[in-house]
Amino acid sequence: MTIEKYSKELLEKKLRKNDIYTIVEIKNKQNEQLAYDADADQVVTLGGIESKIFTQCVLNPGVISFMHEIMTLNDQNDIYSIEVDKTNPFINKTFDEILLILRKYKILLLAINVGYKKSREEETQIIKKYNLDDSVITNPFKDSECNYKVNIGDLLIVLAQYETKIDEAINKIKKGL
């Protein structure tokens, strides 16, 4: 958190152009708010993730192979993100529309993060405005999630073989191919 404080000082003195994006790892979920209060941009509770994976592996045999596949850098599939800017062809498209378009290019949409790089207040406003349960939409089943249309600033989380495949696909989509 010292880095975050130092970054703000450099910004105030105009010695930096932009803020540092800070990811904090905590062991106890109860400390999450402390990290956000100290201006962390993202908080990861590894104990919670580890417990969830372990529980899923016990309840659903075979899940560990999937987890290993997506968490290991290899030539198969890796998780990537696509920042939605004003040139992105997915603006005003729903999860299902994007899913179908990307599948043509062998890319799988996993989630839409509507709270990406937004303050907690902005994230809360978006969740309320669109009647969402959370800032991350995965496998939408509620009408509000199904009808949500991607906006500038959202983040698409995808599974693809290589990042270059994503760039190629987006360029082809923009050209209408």
Confidence of residue 1 (pLDDT cuts 50, 70, 90): low
Whole-number Å distance between alpha carbons of 163 and 177: 19
Measured CA to CA in angstroms, residue 118 lies from 42, 56, 102, 154, 165 at distances of: 10, 30, 26, 9, 28
DSSP state of 48: H
pLDDT tens digits, residue range 90-121?
A: 999 999 999 999 999 999 999 999 988 888 88
CA atoms within 13 A on the CB side of 110: 12
* Alpha helices (runs of H) in 130-177, residue ranges in sequence order: 143-147, 163-174
pLDDT tens digits, residue range 9-52?
A: 877 887 777 777 888 888 887 888 888 888 788 888 877 777 88
Note whether 164 and 112 are within 8 A (CB): no
Q: What is the pTM of this model?
A: 0.74
Domains assigned to the chain: 1-72 (no CATH), 74-177 (3.30.70.1450)
